[in-house]
A and B are shown apart, each in its own frame.
Chain A
Amino acid sequence: MALTKIVSTEKRLYSQTPLRNAVQLDKLKKYYRTVLIIFLPILFLTSCTSEFESFNNTAFEFASNNKRIDQKEFETLLEDISNSAERGFTQFKDENGEINNPKVVSYLLKYYSAKNLNLTEVDIWQPESLTKPKAFNINVYLENSASMDGYVTGVTDFETAIYNLLGDFKISKVCDSLNLNYINNSIPYSKKNALPADIQDFIEKLEPSTFRQKGGDRSVSDLKNIINTVLNTVDDQNAAVLISDFVFSPGKNVNAQDYLNNQGVGIKIDFAEKIKDFDLSAVVIQLESNFDGVYYDKTNKSIPFKGKRPYYIWIFGSNQQISSILDKKILDNIKGGYLNRLILQSIKETNNPNYKILSNLKIGDFSRAELNNKILADASLSKDNQNKGLFGFSIAVDFSKSSQDASYFLDTTNYELSNPNYQLEVELISNKNDASLSGFTHLLKLQTSDLRNENLEIQVVGQTPNWVYASSSINDSNILNEISEQQKTFGLQFLIEGLNDAFYPKSSSNAINIFTITIKK
């Protein structure tokens, strides 16, 4: 009983002394320390998500909701980009720190592809270009020399294609006024600002009798003069379309080779003069049509011919006008399609398409560390039996923005390498599901046994494509019996070479695109 009293007295005293407060304070400190020790690292770790990671997560959330990115969402993403200087965001900005929208879209598409969200470019809202292309007049010149009669006898592929092309020009927003003309040594017929009914009338009257009726000197095709006449009509307000078989007519008692050389040089000079003070571009399309009429060979001998014959549509205009026509896919929609296409643009500055070095398609070895700076570091030759002593790597390139045909970039003769010991192979990227190749069109595979420290320069050069040589003839006198000759055009090579030499003079580098890769052993 006495003991109980003592204990309760101690308890009472303890509760009334500062000792109690000290013990409680000690406990509180311990709790506080525990909380700090456990939660601070957690807080620290949870704050480790980078701004770029958070951008990716936001982009993923936006897209997974409704499989599209609307204006508000896109603008939110742009805001994230502009507010951060993190390394991941630098790929979206140019040298001035301005955001490049196509680069953002390209990255998002790659990212969504890697995340198995199948979004396409149309699913992502993009601001419209502030500089809306200006409409311009399109002057169409149809050559009506006698050699063209065979293309307009009855209903032909030629008429269908031209009707289709003119219709598309008329309804396109790029065309201000469509002017239709016949041309030979002069312009004997002209219809200004043709309406749909005029186009129909123009096509329906495409018959040899109308050609004759419209007049002019139909006996010869002086192509140099025709081209020069059309070229002179081209300016910032006017683009021109020239439709012809482009068969030279040297005539009797004339040395055909000399004639072709002279015409080629003349065409080159005319174009070179124009390019000097005008931002000129040219498109040449080769098409094919049924032909029923008289073919005039190099000596102007008439040969009745029925069968398929090539013809050409040339389009001249400023870079902007030609880009507008190409962007509208007007040429791709020509009924019956076309055989070949060549685009020539005056090289004011080389534009470099987006490209990257692939880290997996390689022979030998190199480090990924500086791949983004286009540097192959620690490069070494292969040691495996299959590729022993070889070194190779691959570049994915996006040529989609180029006006040139995709097939132009598949031809390795259109490339020049600073180290000729490298072998180049080019192929189209067909696997659209591979996120690492998403946004790229061509794969350039390079291989060498001569590995050294260097800046390897790969140039895509502007030159006459191989189809021109395959389609060109220098002797058409036996066209009736030689089937291959029927698919060719007399003197085409001289014509296109003249044109090509004007755009890409042999004295300069003529590089359309340049890729530089630094190789460090």
Chain B
Amino acid sequence: MEEFFASLYEWFGLNPLFSTDMGDQLRGWDITCTDYIGTPWYVIIGWSMIAVTAVLYALQYHIIDSSRWKNKTHWWLFALIIVILNFLIAFLIPYNSIQAGDYCNQLNLSVSDCIGFGLSNAVWSFILFIIITTIPVFRKLSNNCRHTTFWKP
């Protein structure tokens, strides 16, 4: 699972938005600089991204599920909330670690790494939201938003 999320956030090695040191920190390179035995942030943040996106999807499509919240404008509003929340989660967790000095001191981590990781998480949550709202299998269970996608109605 760790490698799955790692390759996701590192964009399959093509263009990671953060340094390899940040990648090692997120893989769980521990505070004593010994091995990948620290907190596996890639996995935790990966699952939290899926959970947050799923909750907000459920909120719009199945809980609120109102005819007043079925337009594409509302879809984009929820998408914005999802993107912001996921950016903040992925930015704040490593940022707090850096501020607290809670990482291996051999790693060169900076705020731009945190921003890069936050952006990666935000983009993936956006892609996930598009996927789960585009394929009809989930949204057809909704009463009022069964036709709501990012391009209609």
Q: Give the contacts of B68-109 with A (CB-CB under 8 A).
A: 101-102, 104-107
Q: Which candidate, B44-52, B110-118, B120-128, B129-137, is the interface stretch facing chain A? A: B44-52
Q: Is A45 part of the contact surface with B, judged by Cβ < 8 Å?
A: yes
CA distance A434 to B32 in the complex (A): 9
Q: Is B18 part of the contact surface with A, judged by Cβ < 8 Å?
A: no
Give chain A residues whose Cβ lies under 8 Å from the Cβ of B48: 41, 45
A50 close to B33 (CB less than 8 A): no
Q: Which candidate, A110-118, A217-225, A331-339, A416-424, is the interface stretch facing chain B? A: A110-118
CA distance A374 to B101 in the complex (A): 26
CA distance A110 to B33 in the complex (A): 9
A33 close to B33 (CB less than 8 A): no
Q: Is A368 part of the contact surface with B, judged by Cβ < 8 Å?
A: yes
Q: Give the contacts of B7-44 with A (CB-CB under 8 A).
A: 24, 29-40, 43-44
Give chain A residues whose Cβ lies under 8 Å from the Cβ of B36: 87, 372
B44 close to A436 (CB less than 8 A): no
**With contact pairs A52-B37, A111-B31, A372-B35 given, residues A436 and B47 touching in the complex (Cβ less than 8 Å):** no
A48 close to B34 (CB less than 8 A): no
CA distance A435 to B52 in the complex (A): 36
B47 close to A48 (CB less than 8 A): yes
Q: Which candidate, A65-73, A352-360, A407-415, is the interface stretch facing chain B? A: A352-360
Give chain B residues whose Cβ lies under 8 Å from the Cβ of A45: 44, 47-48, 51
CA distance A435 to B38 in the complex (A): 15
A33 close to B51 (CB less than 8 A): no
CA distance A53 to B101 in the complex (A): 17
Among the listed A37, A44, A116, A434, which residue makes an inter-chain contact with B58, where contact means beta carbons less than 8 Å apart?
Answer: A37
**With contact pairs A50-B39, A91-B37, A360-B106 given, residues A436 and B32 touching in the complex (Cβ less than 8 Å):** yes
Among the listed A44, A116, A359, which residue makes an inter-chain contact with B51, where contact means beta carbons less than 8 Å apart?
Answer: A44
Residue picked from B33, B34, B38, B104, most chain A C-beta under 10 Å: B33
Q: Is A125 part of the contact surface with B, judged by Cβ < 8 Å?
A: no
Q: Is B62 part of the contact surface with A, judged by Cβ < 8 Å?
A: yes
Give chain A residues whose Cβ lies under 8 Å from the Cβ of B43: 48
CA distance A356 to B106 in the complex (A): 13
CA distance A42 to B55 in the complex (A): 10
Q: Give the contacts of A366-388 with B (CB-CB under 8 A).
A: 368, 371-372
B37 close to A30 (CB less than 8 A): no
B55 close to A38 (CB less than 8 A): yes
A356 close to B34 (CB less than 8 A): yes
CA distance A178 to B54 in the complex (A): 80
A358: nearest residue on chain B (CB-CB)? B106
Q: Is A233 part of the contact surface with B, judged by Cβ < 8 Å?
A: no
CA distance A371 to B48 in the complex (A): 29
A367: nearest residue on chain B (CB-CB)? B20
Give chain B residues whose Cβ lies under 8 Å from the Cβ of A37: 54-55, 58-59, 62-63
**With contact pairs A37-B63, A358-B106, A435-B105 given, residues A115 and B31 touching in the complex (Cβ less than 8 Å):** yes
B55 close to A107 (CB less than 8 A): no
Among the listed B33, B34, B47, B54, which residue makes an inter-chain contact with A91, where contact means beta carbons less than 8 Å apart?
Answer: B34
Convert A92-132 into 0s and 1s, putting 1 for each residue whose CB lies closer than 8 angstroms to a CB of B.
Answer: 00000000000000010011001110000000000000000
Q: Give the contacts of A45-64 with B (CB-CB under 8 A).
A: 45, 48, 50, 52-53
CA distance A38 to B43 in the complex (A): 20
A50 close to B40 (CB less than 8 A): yes
A436 close to B106 (CB less than 8 A): yes
B65: nearest residue on chain A (CB-CB)? A30
CA distance A360 to B20 in the complex (A): 12
Q: Is A88 part of the contact surface with B, judged by Cβ < 8 Å?
A: yes
Give chain A residues whose Cβ lies under 8 Å from the Cβ of B107: 359-360
A42: nearest residue on chain B (CB-CB)? B51
**With contact pairs A52-B37, A53-B39 given, residues A114 and B106 touching in the complex (Cβ less than 8 Å):** no
**With contact pairs A37-B63, A358-B106 given, residues A88 and B37 touching in the complex (Cβ less than 8 Å):** yes
CA distance A42 to B48 in the complex (A): 9
Convert A1-42 into 0s and 1s, putting 1 for each residue whose CB lies closer than 8 angstroms to a CB of B.
Answer: 000000000000000000000000000001001100110011
Give chain B residues whose Cβ lies under 8 Å from the Cβ of A346: none
Among the listed B33, B51, B105, which residue makes an inter-chain contact with A41, where contact means beta carbons less than 8 Å apart?
Answer: B51
CA distance A91 to B105 in the complex (A): 20
Give chain B residues whose Cβ lies under 8 Å from the Cβ of A493: none
Q: Is A438 part of the contact surface with B, judged by Cβ < 8 Å?
A: yes
Give chain A residues whose Cβ lies under 8 Å from the Cβ of B104: 114, 359, 435-436
A30 close to B63 (CB less than 8 A): yes
Give chain A residues whose Cβ lies under 8 Å from the Cβ of B40: 50
Give chain B residues whose Cβ lies under 8 Å from the Cβ of A368: 24, 29
Give chain B residues whose Cβ lies under 8 Å from the Cβ of A435: 31-33, 104-105
B57: nearest residue on chain A (CB-CB)? A37
CA distance A498 to B34 in the complex (A): 43
A41 close to B106 (CB less than 8 A): no
A41 close to B39 (CB less than 8 A): no
CA distance A463 to B24 in the complex (A): 41
Give chain A residues whose Cβ lies under 8 Å from the Cβ of B33: 358-359, 435-436
Give chain A residues whose Cβ lies under 8 Å from the Cβ of B105: 114, 434-436
4 A-B pairs besides A30-B63, A91-B34, A435-B104 with CB distance below 8 A are: A41-B48, A111-B31, A111-B32, A114-B31
Give the 10 A-B residue pairs with the shortest CB-CB distance, closest first: A41-B51, A88-B37, A436-B33, A360-B106, A372-B35, A110-B32, A114-B31, A37-B58, A48-B44, A368-B24
Some 17 contacts from A to B, beta carbons below 8 A apart, are: A34-B63, A38-B55, A41-B52, A45-B48, A88-B35, A111-B32, A114-B31, A358-B106, A359-B24, A359-B33, A359-B107, A372-B34, A372-B36, A435-B31, A436-B32, A436-B33, A438-B32
